[in-house]
Structure 1
Amino acid sequence: MTISHGRAEASAGRAVAIPEPADEMRADSAWTTFAATPLEYVATDDEQTTITEVLTRRADLTPDAVFVSFEGMKVTFGEFKHRAEQAGAALAYAGISRGDKVAVMLPNSLEFLDLWFGSALLGAVLVPINTGLRGAGLAHVLTHSDSALLVAEGELVAECEKVLDSGAGPRLRYARGAGSDWDCAHTWLRGSYQPAVPEAVTPGDVASILYTSGTTGPSKGVVNCHNAFAVAANEFCRRHVEIRSDDVLYTSLPLFHVNAQMLSVMGAMVSGRPLVLAPRFRASGILDDLRGHGATIFNYIGAMLTMIAKQPIREDDAANPARLAIGGAAPAQLWKEFERRFALSIVEIYGLTETATFCLGSPPADVRVGKVGRSVSWADVRIEASDGAEQNDGQPGEVVIRSKRDNVMFSGYYKDPEATARAMSGGWFHTGDRGRRDESGYFEFIDRIKDIIRRRGENISSFEVERVVNSHDAVTESAVVGVPSDLGEEDVLAVVVPANGSRIDPGELIDFCRERLGAYMVPRYVRVVDTLPRTATERIQKYILRNEARSEPMWDREAGA
């Protein structure tokens, strides 16, 4: 049963009316866009600050400028500050105060933003929950996080109730939309309350706990402070997109990940440029969405660029307002053709939830295909050998990071000092990623260390093999893993998902790989599947594929079938 402090009144109270969508047009373009305002930052790139201070400064400086556009609704910075204050008042009315955990299991929405910034105003801690999380993983986050309050999408309430024993998990529960008997989040958030008194939070105070993927055990809660959000946003806007007064940011990444939060939302806050928040990523519709909003910068991760590139070629592909795509894991063989086809530039960055989203980045004026850039302003990054010694340039090893400033890197894993100690061995954060640095200071990502395949005395990067396999027209995505070999060590298995309407001929795919990979890297086995197993944060669960290789049928090029 849900315990609450009573239902809020349905009156509008301090709620802010959302204006009707504006119909502004940029004079030199056919794309709907936003009125340009002078570019003025509200935080320097090296000061210590907080999410709430950035919000207050921005709302005071440009209250009438558009902050976010979501599904046709535009909210100015001034209006959003009122929305955050209203959410803070609703949270305080429910009994939330400094240090309390607020769990949010919502898709991209204005309410997600309201709860995030409303929590920050109170000094409460946001716990974003992946909307795809189910079962034991969901139970772990809801209970381990010590969340006092949960706001979930109505259709997800049943999943939460399945995993929560009586009395376990957040005692205050609200649902957005239909689908449950929980208190209505909209009514509660828009109730009439006394204004909440903002807490005097400090840059090092905890702002969020975000649970990373757990592939071999329970997921870990990454503890990030307020200042990390501002540092990431400044680094992103000032050095890696070099934001301009006519730029419009765009993200289709989920708000329950740090990328959308630290780079896109906080990027808009520190720079004052508007953000288009898409409900979700759609490869078939993203270009038209960019056109419709006049968006100039969009973020990508993983296979997004490959999926966009596999869409049917259109005559107007290059006729879009985007000037920059920024993210991680752009396929090297796709890179230049993607830039040419869509008339934009790709900028690679690299990082983790623990490292303020990114710790390596490419300067826009000197992007190098296949490289993820150099150390950002706040970070020391090096390559370590297995004995902990620093590797020479050109030699592979583990990517490790430490911060040159206070309150940027994560402060540890929530209630897991052992995991924190292992990750921070020797004072450096150990990523579990294998890479190398060249003599000019540019880094290259090779693979997750646990995903390196050892075959006939050679180390094979599954990441590199996947890049080639994914470039085949009939393949939507793939996962490459090592499976036991009769000769010892491992053989290479490619698990592939066919593109819509395509049929994959394993022999033809292997011939395709032979032309593009070293002979020792060419897969021996091919298995065709409808989908790949993933964690709640969309990482492919390769250990499942390795286990399934013992029982599932595979095409074997040495047997010819």
Structure 2
Amino acid sequence: MIVPFAVRDFLDRATTVYGDRVGAVDEPQQPARPWEGLSYRRIGELARAQAAGLDALGVPHGARVAVVSPNSARLLTSFYGVSGYGRVLVPVNFRLTAEEVRYIVEDSGAEVLLIDPELTERLAGVECRHTFTLGEETDARLYDFATDPKPPEPDENATATLNYTSGTTARPKGVQITHRNIWVNATTFALHAGVSDRDVYLHTLPMFHANGWGMPFAMAALGVPQIVLRKVDGAEILRRVAAHGVTVMCAAPAVVNAVLAAAQSWEGEIPGRDRVRIIVAGAPPPTRTVARVEAELGWEFLQIYGLTETSPLLTVNRGRAEWDALPPEERAGKLVRAGAPALGVSLRTSEQGEVLARSNVVLEGYWRQPEASAEALRDGWFHTGDGGTLDEEGYLTISDRQKDVIITGGENVSSVEVEDALFSHPAVEEVAVIGVPDERWGETIKALVVRAPDTEVDEAELIRHCKDRLAGYKAPTSVEFRDTLARTATGKLQKFKLREPYWQGRERGVN
């Protein structure tokens, strides 16, 4: 018997087995009225109502529904109210500019756009067939339906979410993640992280980012209460851990650093000691950071590696019984590796050292980009664009980034996109954008600029110029002016050579 995998399976189990249990604690500090008393049964009712509301609008199955919002219970519910009932959720990075959001809405062909109240003014010029502000407007227009929604045709290979990611091009690509991708990712992630119905999950990770790595699904299936955090703040994370008995969270390295910093002035015992496990991804953290998490916080440190294109789980690194007797620094040194392949994942490296992956979590393709899809999936393997090595234990270590992508604070930034923005300034004749090490963000963005003849421009003006055109986190944090930028005989920039001086003394070309 083959029963197609479906996103709604996770919520269906939650409502059946854990219907009366707290499903989500909404963020109390937000412009929209928080949803209170959200049992899993109530989340199921709201998801059905949202699907019926989309039916009433005439939005067909397969249509795209874009949501631009920080973490909220309404966004959490949309994973089911949209994807769970046959439509495609497009979770959009709320930090993007209006022009960047406009491109995603137009490229995806979204028929509905849901916007957080804090963003309505900034995104006022983004047009869509149906546009609603999350809160009172959507509660009345989308969530106030008692009728049963139209059932979708089961198809585990249908696109469930369309997640836009910055890559090697100036424009982001839409990553088609199927119901099967989501199902396998969430289930294997929960297995490797040891999730049970005794856990409490804190959403420190943005839900738009690779679908919150799949946690909205994995946690629901096991009846785990989900605590919604709208804005990352180290001290507030510690307060939520204490208030709600949090046991597990996912985070970028910058979030880990924020919690460690807040712990320095925390009065009393650090909450969650010997209880919390923190799952980190986005860039390999330093060994010292791993050791500090375990020593200063008393939390268990896990690392994963993956990409939006892989749903994202490819590898997991969690402490093993064989390592328990090792000194803390030595144990931490083992945990900074990207990890061993997750269940169902095959890894190898190409002759050029690129990490290749094969698994049920690999994307269906890039939205309306068949050539890019074929290139990424050539020869039956997904080409990650990351350089790495596999050791004798089967553990992967990421050593370099072969794509022109910078990961800063857990967010992917296309260097090509930043270069395009800088090139639009009349005083810029040549530019190369690279990632350089940064203690807080892992990597930060540096622009190497050659001024046009007879022009003057300073660092502050170029950074401001970028911020006017791109999301703030994509702007360079420093600009270095050069007389020339070294090129090959064919005129190509060799960015690995431009990066070398900034990464000297480090074993890896990523941080």
Q: TM-score, normalised by structure 1?
A: 0.68
Between the aligned partners of 2:106 and 2:256, the Cα distance in structure 1 is: 36
Contact 1:228 1:409 (C-alpha < 8 Å) held by counterparts: yes
Deviation at 1:331, TM superposition (A): 2.3
Separation of aligned partners in 2, 1:230 and 1:531 = 42
Equivalent residues in 2 for 1:1-40 (5 A)? none
In the other structure, the counterpart of 1:199 is 152
Aligned twin of 1:340: 295
Secondary structure (helix, strand or coil) at the match of 1:341 reads helix
What is the CA–CA distance in structure 1 between the aligned matches of 2:196 and 2:232, rounded to whole Å?
25
Per-residue deviation, residues 71-120 of structure 1 (Å, max 9, x unmatched): 36342221111111111111111111211111111221122123331112
SS of structure 2 residue aligned to 1:93: helix
CA contact (8 A) 2:253 2:442 kept: no
Of 479, 487, 494, the residue aligned with 2:444 is 479
2:344 aligned residue:
378
Distance 1:105 1:256 in 2: 8
How far off its partner does 1:250 sit? 1.3
Paired with 2:56 and 2:396, the residues of 1 have a C-alpha distance of: 49
Name the aligned partner's letter for residue 271 of structure 1. L
The within-5 A match list for 1:47-446 is 49-71=5-27, 73-164=36-127, 170-177=128-135, 184-192=137-145, 194-213=147-166, 216-239=169-192, 241-260=193-212, 262=214, 264-311=215-262, 312-320=264-272, 322-328=275-281, 329=283, 330-365=285-320, 368-386=334-352, 397-403=353-359, 405=360, 408-446=361-399
- 1:68 is paired with a residue whose SS is strand
Counterpart CA distance in 2 for 1:207 and 1:150 is 16
**2:260–2:297: 8 Å Cα contact kept in structure 1?**
no
CA shift digits 1:397-418 (9 cap, x unpaired) = 2111112x4xx31100000111
CA distance in structure 2 between the aligned counterparts of 1:422 and 1:62, rounded to whole angstroms = 44
SS of alignment partner, residue 111 of structure 2: strand
In structure 2, do the counterparts of structure 1 residues 550 and 158 end up closer, same or farther at CA, with 3 Å as the change threshold? farther
Contact 1:253 1:280 in 2 (8 A): no
Structure 1 Cα separation of the partners of residues 183 and 68 of structure 2: 23
CA 1:477/1:360 → structure 2, altered by over 3 Å: closer, same or farther? Answer: closer
SS in 1 for 2:15: helix
Q: For the Cα contact (< 8 Å) 1:51–1:229, is it kept in 2?
A: yes
Identify unmatched segments of 5+ residues in structure 2. Answer: 29-35, 324-330, 407-433, 451-458, 484-500, 503-511
Indicate the residue corresponding to 1:513 in structure 2.
none
Q: Supply the AA of the counterpart residue of 1:157.
A: T
Q: Matched residues, percent identical?
A: 26
Pair member with larger Rg: 1
What CA distance in whole angstroms lies between the structure 2 residues aligned with 1:538 and 1:242? Answer: 36
Q: Compute the displacement of 1:207 (Å).
A: 0.4
CA distance, structure 2, for counterparts of residue 356 and residue 58 of structure 1: 22
Aligned counterparts of 2:59 and 2:3: Cα–Cα separation in 1: 29
Please say if residues 350 and 358 of structure 1, whose CA atoms lie closer than 8 Å, have aligned partners that are also in contact: yes
Task: Give the whole-Å Cα distance in 2 for the aligned partners of 1:539 and 1:243.
Answer: 32
Letter in 1 for 2:185: A
For residues 80 and 261 of structure 1, do their structure 2 counterparts lie closer, same or farther at Cα, with a shift above 3 Å needed? farther
**Residues 421 and 533 of structure 1: CA distance in aligned 2, closer, same or farther (over 3 Å):** farther
CA contact under 8 A between 1:129 and 1:211: conserved in structure 2? yes
Q: CA deviation at 1:385?
A: 2.4
| One-letter identity of the residue aligned with 2:444 | A
Q: Distance in 1 between matches of 2:390 and 2:467?
A: 32
Cα deviation digits, residues 196-233 of structure 1 (max 9, x gap)? 12213222111010111256411000000112222112
Report the residue type matching 2:15 in the other structure.
A
SS in 1 for 2:235: coil
- The alpha carbon displacement at 1:361 in A equals 0.7
For 2:309, give the aligned amino acid.
E
Which structure 1 residue ranges, 4+ long, deviate > 6 Å from structure 2? 529-539
Gaps in structure 1 of 5+ consecutive residues: 1-45, 165-169, 179-183, 387-396, 454-461, 486-494, 496-528
Q: For residue 426 of structure 1, what is the amino acid of its counterpart? A: D
- Higher helix content, 1 or 2: 2
Decide whether aligned partners of structure 1 residues 214 and 222 sit closer, same or farther in structure 2, where only a CA change above 3 A counts: same
User: C-alpha separation between the residues in 2 aligned to 1:121 and 1:128?
Assistant: 14
Residues 448 and 480 in structure 2, CA contact (< 8 A), matched pair in contact too: no
SS of 2:123's equivalent?
A: helix
Shift of residue 326 of structure 1? Answer: 0.5
Aligned-pair CA distance for 1:53: 2.4
Residue aligned with 1:359, SS:
strand
SS at the partner of 1:447?
strand
Moved more, 292-301 or 73-82: 73-82
Instruction: Indicate if the aligned counterparts of 1:436 and 1:445 stay in contact, CA closer than 8 A.
Output: yes
How far off is 1:195 after superposition? 2.3
TM-score, normalised with respect to structure 2: 0.75
